[in-house]
Amino acid sequence: MERRTRTAAQDTAGRTARRHHGNRHGRSEEARRAILEAADDLLVEKGFAGVTVEGIAARAGVAKQTVYRWWPTKTDVLLDAFLEDMAEDLVPPDHGDVARDLRTYLPWLAYMLSSTDTGAVFRALVAQTHHDPAFAAVFRERCLDEQRRRDRLPLERAVRRGQLPADLDTAAETDLLVGPLYYRVLVTGEPVGREFTDRLVDAFLRRTGLA
Amino acid sequence: MERRTRTAAQDTAGRTARRHHGNRHGRSEEARRAILEAADDLLVEKGFAGVTVEGIAARAGVAKQTVYRWWPTKTDVLLDAFLEDMAEDLVPPDHGDVARDLRTYLPWLAYMLSSTDTGAVFRALVAQTHHDPAFAAVFRERCLDEQRRRDRLPLERAVRRGQLPADLDTAAETDLLVGPLYYRVLVTGEPVGREFTDRLVDAFLRRTGLA
Amino acid sequence: MERRTRTAAQDTAGRTARRHHGNRHGRSEEARRAILEAADDLLVEKGFAGVTVEGIAARAGVAKQTVYRWWPTKTDVLLDAFLEDMAEDLVPPDHGDVARDLRTYLPWLAYMLSSTDTGAVFRALVAQTHHDPAFAAVFRERCLDEQRRRDRLPLERAVRRGQLPADLDTAAETDLLVGPLYYRVLVTGEPVGREFTDRLVDAFLRRTGLA
Amino acid sequence: MERRTRTAAQDTAGRTARRHHGNRHGRSEEARRAILEAADDLLVEKGFAGVTVEGIAARAGVAKQTVYRWWPTKTDVLLDAFLEDMAEDLVPPDHGDVARDLRTYLPWLAYMLSSTDTGAVFRALVAQTHHDPAFAAVFRERCLDEQRRRDRLPLERAVRRGQLPADLDTAAETDLLVGPLYYRVLVTGEPVGREFTDRLVDAFLRRTGLA
DNA sequence: GCGTAATCGAGACGGTACGTCTTGTCTTTCC
DNA sequence: GGAAAGACAAGACGTACCGTCTCGATTACGC
């Protein structure tokens, strides 16, 4: 979880490493970070069921009330924890060629989703959307829509470049490209190898006349 | 939940409506059915979080221990409830033509998964696999594998018929066909309309040379 | 049970009748009293078997956990409930004459033990010592020893007054005096009348040369 | 528990060591003995709370129903178990002299009640009378009255012999003699030594003019 | 010697209470 | 006014026994 300690508030002079016990000028950044780290540490260690507000507070060395003050549920904590990592980690590359972009990005996406801590949090959050419709809306707005926008980038850039026809339904085509990948990762649990992502890309290239 | 009351023990003469209290040679079918019905009634009414063993037992008019005697967790109850409905409901048709089969089955599958009580239970179970690895294995073995086998049927029958090449990787091709559909239903929550399933079928037919 | 409501926190100004929901520095006096009252109300109404932690909590309008937080078992609740009443109720009188003290105290003791709510709790607790050795130790230390000390008071005061020889084994003699009384109340259940307590006192006076 | 195996039905010929499975006319002596033994074995091993009908049946290798068929509660099982031992074990001796009888019997009674398995069962049963008034009546009728009758024997025999006045209230005097002993064993738990029983006897002899 | 009737084992059943756990709220005290 | 501490009401968890019941096997007696 060091990825977040990098962004820790260096406190304008390093002097404030000492314990914070509340003040009248805003919330404790220290507490915020500790909570987010505790949350996904717990997720990785003990699974979703092992994440409890009680446990997060205990591990973060924080009062339960401090968690409840800023997040309505443990799932929202996990969402915040995830959002800090996602944006930087799941960006498709831009080589100026849609085929190359896809052949690079799809395996990377599969790896991220299935084999990293970030992916574990993502899978847990997607799962939670099925158990809690209210969270589903929040999750889609704050996380999933952005991810889908990123997933569409290779195609949209290719359209702008003229590599693909201007009237291509990039949203639908993207779903055809990444859908089977998400399906394997999130539903069947089957491993997604190079040959599978290549098959996805090949099918796409063939039906758009690029191969 | 009437779909199960249909299969209620007809009692060889109607005389055996009398209460069963357990005996040496097997469990109470009455209790079993009441529990399964109570479980998915609760799921539909109050969502996954609203399903509790306590609630199931209370609604089924059954002792908690009777639930625990036969199912380790509430999720396993839901799985059994689901399995009773799934097999009969999610069978692809066989018109002797792969294109027609797919154009019939895919919209039906999308409808079942997204808009029926059976689908609600399925989505909850898939979600639960991400929160409980032990259940994931059970779910895949007892439910998902069978569903995937059914999903592959149209393609496999076409291969047998000679409509498709014998060396077609039906498993992978099926994932390309149904993956985007499951993705929309289970991840993005976006509606799956006719135009989307048609796009899936068209892409498949074109890449296999059938159109 | 009003004997305890009398001692209710007078709230330094009457303003604190408002509901207490716990805080950092100490437990809820309101909850404590409600639990003790509920416990011996239940004992009197339904007998020892009818006293359950569940029932105590329900009647006291308190969460089960609040009972378990402060008392390990229901028996310890009853013990605390009893201790609040015992001290004031079971004190032998001091008329400056051992004969008169005993003729007053023994019937009173017999009445208290056999015919009052306080006595019912006492009998239940003594009984419980035989079913639970750990409780037996606690009971003796926190309750019985004190009671025996009180029972010895008339004799000890007489010794101090010079009415009885200084080398009298007051502990053993007290057991001879009250033992038959407790025996009838706690073992045989036979009523203890005036003629029986008088016989006890007469026997004592004769063997100590006071009559 | 061998004391009971001695009285085991010798099977009219020794041939019936084979398993009994019930018959029309009468119960299984084998089951009856196994249940009684299991009950007081459990009491001695795990205390009263550790005695459950379930546990008795399991240890006796018997169906729960077989216990319930013949005894309404576990306490009644223990009572029966106790009655088989009591009569023979707690009989006061008859030396033709009340002083000698008492000096022999009282220490023996104290020992039996406080230090043997039989005594443990007795104490548990007395305790149970305070938790269950219905059982109290049964216990008094079937056990306690008989024990008190035995306790009175030395005095009654002395009256018959002319050693004690004919108008002596043997019942009350017996309570004065044994009451303190039961009190120590059943209430205070204090050990009852020779000096204490001697004090009891001395007091009795003095007040009846025998010493 | 055959049916009948009571007993036996086994164990599932509807329940109650257990003691533990987590949730989300509230209160107090310190900074 | 934020934070730590932690008591509180609520209620589900999974377990242990309760006492009832049904079942099929076993066995002694009486026709």
Here the CATH number for the domain that contains residue D56 is 1.10.10.60
Please tell me the distance in Å from D90's CA to the nearest CA on chain C.
17
Contact B136 A183 (CB under 8 A): no
Q: Which residue(s) pair with B23 in the sheet? A: B26
| Residue C76 located in a structural domain | no
CATH number of the domain residue A137 falls in: 1.10.357.10
- Report residue B23: phi and psi, to 5°: -160, -175
pLDDT band, very low/low/confident/very high, at A23 (cuts 50, 70, 90): low
From chain C, pick out residues whose CB is under 8 angstroms from the CB of D175.
180, 183-184, 188, 196
pLDDT of residue C14: 34
**Do A115 and A202 belong to one domain?**
yes
CA distance C93 to C105: 7
Three-state DSSP state, C200 = helix
Q: Shortest CA–C1' contact from A24: which nucleotide?
A: F1
Q: In this model, does residue D3 exceed pLDDT 90?
A: no
pLDDT of amino acid D22: 58
User: Which residues have C-beta within 8 Å of that of residue C46, sequence separation ≥ 6?
Assistant: none
Name the nearest CA neighbour of B187 among A104, A122, A47, A92: A122
Cα–Cα distance between C103 and C109 in angstroms, integer? Answer: 11
Lowest-confidence pick of A127-141, A166-180, C52-66, D101-115: A127-141
Q: What distances in angstroms separate CA A71 from CA A40, A48, A66, A80, B113, one per listed residue?
A: 15, 17, 9, 9, 32
CA distance A136 to D154: 87
Residues C111 and C184 in one domain: yes
Spanning CA of B65 to C1' of E16, the rounded length in angstroms is 12
Q: Which two tokens stand for residue C128?
A: 């419980």
Q: Which domain range does residue A27 map to?
A: 2-70
Same domain? D109 vs D195: yes
Q: Give the span between the Cα atoms of B46 and B29, in whole angstroms.
A: 26
Residue of D nearest to C203 (CA): D207
Chain C CB contacts of D129 below 8 Å: 127, 189
D57, D66 contact by CB (below 8 A): yes
Asked if residue B136 belongs to a domain, the reply is yes
Q: Where are the beta strands (DSSP E) in C148-206?
A: none
**D15 C-beta less than 7 Å away from strand F:** no
Phi, psi of B26, rounded to the nearest 5 degrees: 120, 170
Contacts of A130 (CB under 8 A, 6+ apart): A136, B48, B123, B124, B126, B127, B186
The answer as to whether B93 is a domain residue is yes
Mutate to test the interface with A, among B129, B178, B183, B185 (most CBs of A within 10 A): B183
Residues of B within 8 A of A210 (CB-CB) are none
C124 CB within 8 Å of a chain D CB: yes
Could you tell me if residue D75 is inside a domain?
A: no
Where does residue D38 rank: exposed (0-12), middle (13-18), buried (19+ CB within 10 A)? Answer: buried
Residues of B in contact with A175 (CB under 8 A): 180, 183-184, 188, 196
CA D141 to chain CA mean position, Å: 13
Q: Is the pLDDT of residue D8 over 90?
A: no
Do residues D157 and D185 share a domain?
A: yes
Task: Please tell me the distance from the alpha carbon of residue D139 to that of residue D145, in angstroms, as a whole number.
Answer: 9
Q: What is the mean pLDDT of residues D188-202?
A: 96
Last residue of one domain, picked from the residues A70, A90, A107: A70
D18 Cβ nearer than 7 Å to chain E strand: no
Residue A143 DSSP label: I
Q: Report yes or no on C75 lying in a domain.
A: no
Max avg pLDDT among C2-11, D85-94, D196-205: D196-205
| Chain B touched by A148 (CB under 8 Å) | yes
Confidence category of residue D20, pLDDT binned at 50, 70, 90: low
Q: Does B183 touch chain A (CB under 8 A)?
A: yes
Tell me how far apart the alpha carbons of residues D115 and D121 are, in angstroms, rounded to a whole number: 11
Q: Is residue B75 part of a domain?
A: no
Interface size C-D, in CB pairs within 8 Å, comes to 111
Show which positions of strand E are touched by protein (CB under 7 A). 4-31
- Whether residues B54 and B104 fall in one domain: no
> Given pLDDT bands bounded at 50, 70 and 90, which one contains residue D165?
very high
pLDDT along chain B (211 residues), means of 10: 37 36 68 95 94 96 96 95 85 95 97 94 94 91 94 97 96 97 96 96 93 77
Calculate mean pLDDT across residues D119-147. 93
Question: B54 and B26 in one domain?
Answer: yes
CA angle, corner A106, sides to A121 and B128, nearest 5? 30
pLDDT of D47 above 90: yes
Residue B189 and residue A136 in contact, taking contact as beta carbons nearer than 8 Å: yes
Please check whether residue B37 lies inside any domain of the structure: yes
> Could you give the C-alpha distances from B132 to A46, A121, B137, B143, in angstroms and in order?
10, 13, 9, 16
Q: Do chains C and B touch (3 or more CB pairs under 8 A)?
A: no
Q: Are residues C190 and C103 in the same domain?
A: yes
**C4 pLDDT tier (thresholds 50, 70, 90):** very low
Average pLDDT over residues D164-184: 97
E strands in A61-117:
none
Q: What is the largest CA-CA distance in chain C?
A: 62
Sign of the dihedral defined by the CA atoms of residues C4, C5, C9, C12, in that order? negative
Distance CA D63, CA B200 (A): 64
Nearest to C156 by CA among C85, C210, C109, C101: C101
Spell out the long-range contacts of D13-16 with Cβ–Cβ below 8 A and sequence spacing 24 or more. none
Which of A11, A39, A70 is the endpoint of a domain?
Answer: A70
CA-based torsion, D67, D68, D70, D74: positive or negative = positive
Question: B13 CA to E2 C1', in Å?
Answer: 32
Which residue type occupies B137? A
> Is D61 (CB) below 7 Å from strand E?
yes
User: How distant is C1' of E4 from CA of D28, in Å?
Assistant: 19
Q: Answer yes or no: is B20 within a domain.
A: yes
3-class SS of residue A123 = helix
In B, which residues are within 8 Å of A140 by CB distance? 188-189
Which of A12, A37, A70 is a domain's end point?
A70
> Is the Cβ of B187 closer than 8 Å to some Cβ of chain A?
yes
D85 and D42 in a common domain: no
Q: Are residues A126 and A51 in the same domain?
A: no
Q: Which nucleotides of F are covered by protein (CB under 7 A)?
A: 1-29
- Measured in angstroms, the CA of A54 and the nearest CA of chain B are apart by 18
A182 touches chain B (CB under 8 A): yes
User: Residues A135-162: what's their mean pLDDT?
Assistant: 94
Q: Test D178 with C182 for CB contact under 8 angstroms.
A: no
Amino acid at A29: E
Contact partners for chain B, using 3 or more CB pairs closer than 8 A, are A
Spell out a b/e string for C79-98, using b for 16 or more CB atoms within 10 Å of the CB, else e: bbbbebbbeeebebeeeebb
How many contiguous H segments (helices) and E segments (strands) does chain D have? Answer: 11, 0
Q: Do B175 and A182 touch (CB under 8 A)?
A: no
User: Best mutation site among C51, C183, C186 for testing chain D: the one with the most D CBs within 10 Å?
Assistant: C183
Q: What is the pLDDT of residue C26?
A: 72
Confidence class for position A111, pLDDT limits 50, 70, 90: very high
Alpha-carbon torsion angle D126, D131, D136, D142, nearest 10: -50
- CB-CB contact of B132 with A47 (8 Å): yes
The closest alpha carbon to A169, from B104, B201, B210, B195, belongs to B195
Q: What is the DSSP string of B92-118?
A: PP--S-HHHHHHHHHHHHHHHHHHSHH
Measure in Å the smallest separation between the Cα of D94 and chain C Cα atoms: 24
Distance CA D151, CA D174 (A): 7
Whether any strand F atom is under 7 angstroms from the Cβ of B73: the reply reads yes
Whether D189 and C48 lie within 8 Å, measured CB to CB: no
What's the domain count of chain B?
Answer: 2
Backbone dihedral angles phi then psi of residue C166, each to the nearest 5 degrees = -65, -25
Query: Are C103 and C153 in a shared domain?
Result: yes
B149/B182 same-domain check: yes
Q: Using the CB atom, is residue A185 less than 7 Å from strand F?
A: no
Structure confidence by residue, pLDDT tens digits, C88-102: 788 999 999 999 999
What pLDDT is attached to residue B155?
97
Q: How close does chain C come to D72, measured CA to CA in Å?
A: 16
Kindly indicate the confidence band of residue A3, based on its pLDDT and cuts at 50, 70 and 90: very low
Residue type, B187: V
Tell me the C-alpha distance between B55 and D134, whole Å: 37
For B29, other C-beta atoms within 10 Å of its C-beta total: 12
Q: Are residues D15 and D99 in the same domain?
A: no
